[in-house]
Amino acid sequence: MLVDYHMHLERGPFTRAWLDRFLATARERGVAEIGISEHIYRFREAQEAYGAWWEAPPPRPPNPGGEHEGHSPASLKASSVTPSLSPLGLERAGGGVPTARDQDEGWPPPGTAAFARRWWTGRGGQSLAEYAGLLREAAAAGLPVRLGIEADYFPGAEGAVRAVLARAPFDYAIGSVHWIGAWGFDLLGVEGLWDGRDVDEAYRAYFALLGQAARSGLFRIMAHPDLIKVLGHRPSPALDLAALYNEAARAFAAGGAAVEVSTAGLRKPVGELYPAPAFLRACRRHGVPLSLASDAHRPEDVGLDFDRAVALARDCGYREILTFAAGRPAPSPSGDEGLS
């Protein structure tokens, strides 16, 4: 069976009517189960737990095999936060990135702590209880939906992630790296975003963080695993990409995280699936399980281009997809069926 475990309700309200539109597209495209993975920063509890992460010093080089947090599955106890009305209308045109107009209105330069603070804090305010309640009730009513969350990883944010995961009965958490220090490298439409950046250095820093995130043991899935290519920047031949892929795959395996094949990259300037085939083959060699993702931010994109994702996965040797129930990984119902 096909599943799509990475999508966002964020352009609409936390209502059954809005959720039903995502489910309808899934049905049309033969996707048997969906998981909603709202961005963690949307929730008040996360804004509080993460704190002012942009003030942290730039990430240090990784310490392969060194200390890490180990496996600490999220607590599955019910959320204790109080439901309340969620403010709408926080989103900007283009899916939540500053537009040229926003920048005219005095956005600080990208890559600065001031930019990161404004971007991040401007997106909070939603109720985790309301979100979790919607999905819990839908699942209880027999709908094929899972409660997930996409959590940004920063070195030192492990405790914050754990605190948020303990507040609701999540089926799984997806780990992602969108920021290198205070630099949100994937923010489409932000002028000058990559100006003055050393591309090789950006790749090295990104993969170091990705591996560190996976090794935290907090995540069952790693999101869009080579997102650093999103705007089409390519490293020089001097960069040993194969080594970076291999080390990341090793980290996924060590942290018990699945690799996500995401079709979102097809809709971005890079125009490719995440991850690169060589990266996915490295994951396969290390025995890393597979997850499928559209990263849809609107109902029309659920399960989009999954034929291409499945073809890539099969080409790299995958025959099964991981599915989740109440946070416990389970094999896809029958052997080859998943990717046939």
Q: Which residues bind Zn ion (CB under 5 A)?
A: 150, 176, 223, 295
Q: What are 234's two structure tokens?
A: 């390519």
Least separation in angstroms between CB 151 and Zn ion: 10
Least separation in angstroms between CB 40 and Zn ion: 10
The reply to whether omega before 169 is within 30° of 0 (cis) is no
3-state SS class at 36: strand
Would you say 33 or 295 has its CB closer to Zn ion?
295
Least separation in angstroms between CB 10 and Zn ion: 9
3-state SS class at 328: strand
Contact 290, 329 (CB under 8 A): no
List the end-to-end C-alpha distance of the chain, in Å, as a whole number: 9
Burial of 188 (0-12, 13-18, 19+ CB in 10 A): middle
Least separation in angstroms between CB 3 and Zn ion: 15
Would you say 225 or 331 has its CB closer to Zn ion?
225
Element (H, E) at 280: helix 277-285
Would you say 227 or 321 has its CB closer to Zn ion?
227
Least separation in angstroms between CB 236 and Zn ion: 26
Strand 183-184 to strand 221-222: parallel, antiparallel, or no bridges (unpaired)? unpaired
Q: What are 200's two structure tokens?
A: 């090789």
Would you say 276 or 317 has its CB closer to Zn ion?
276
Would you say 290 or 293 has its CB closer to Zn ion?
293
Q: How many CB atoms lie within 10 A of CB 240?
A: 13
